[in-house]
Amino acid sequence: MEVEGKIILALPEQSGVSRAGNNWKKREYVLETHETYPKKVFFVLFGDRADQYPLNIGDEIRLSFDINSREYNGRWFTSIDGWKVEPATAPAAPGAPAPVYGAAPAAPAYGAPAPAAPMPDLTPEPNDDLPF
C-alpha cells in the first residue's frame, strides 16, 4: 500500500537488544496526507530502514507500507510498517509511458463528475408559432 504526505513529527530513534541477543532500532514518524480532510498516519521504520531513509519534519514523501495487527493479552494492536520511502515529487519510472499532449482526454475515473455538456441554444426561431 502507498500513501503520500508531509512529515509533521519525527520521534527520537529507539534501540535495544532482543531476547535472542540481536540489536534492533526503530524510528517513528507521523505523516499528514494532502486530502480535502487530511489524515495523520503514524508509521515505523524498523531495523536498517531507520538509517536507510533519514526523514525530517517537512519532507514530502511517498510511503510504501504494510499493515500488521497482533493480539497481546486479549487486546489487538495495529502498526504501519514502512518498507520504502521516496520523495513525493519523484520522476516517472523508466519505461513508463509519457503523457501524450493534445490527445483525447482519458475517461473519468469511476465516481468522478462527468464533464459539463455545452448548453443548447434556446432562442426562439422567428417563424415559430407555438405558444410555448
In this predicted structure, what is the pLDDT of residue 128? 63
The CATH classification number of 2-87 equals 2.40.50.140
* Mean pLDDT confidence for 4-20: 94
Give 79 or 112, the one with higher predicted confidence: 79
Q: What is the pLDDT of residues 42-97, one digit of tens each?
A: 999 999 998 898 899 999 999 999 999 999 999 999 999 999 999 986 444 555 55
CA-nearest of 44, 31, 23, 26 to 3 is 31
With vertex at residue 11, the alpha carbon angle to CA 59 and CA 25, rounded to the nearest 5 degrees, is 105
Q: Specify burial of residue 55 (Cβ count, 10 A radius: 0-12, 13-18, 19+).
A: middle
